[in-house]
Amino acid sequence: MVKLGSWHIHPETKEFTYNATLAKIFGYEGEAAVTYDQVIAQVTED
């Protein structure tokens, strides 16, 4: 079984939705919501 993180960003509202696997990949555990700004901070220019 493949464990994939999935996400969607609405460009106009910056609403960010994701699944639990993606939260774990970014190091976020539990019920805390990951924000758009937290996600963008994880993205590198590479």
The tally of domains found in the chain comes to 1
For 4, the token pair is: 């994939």
Instruction: Kindly tell me if the per-residue pLDDT of 6 is higher than 80.
Output: yes
**Is 2 inside any structural domain?**
no
Q: Who's near 43: CB < 8 A, 6+ residues apart?
A: none
Q: Compute and round to an integer the Cα radius of gyration of the chain.
A: 11
Q: pTM here?
A: 0.61
**Is 1 inside any structural domain?**
no
DSSP three-state, residue 23 = helix
**Is 11 inside any structural domain?**
yes
pLDDT attached to residue 12? 93
The conformational region for residue 14 under phi > 0 = left, psi -120 to 50 = alpha, else beta, is: left
Q: Supply the range of the domain harboring residue 28.
A: 7-42
How do residues 7-41 score in pLDDT, each as one tens digit? 898 889 988 888 888 888 878 876 677 888 888 88
**Is 37 inside any structural domain?**
yes
pLDDT attached to residue 28? 80
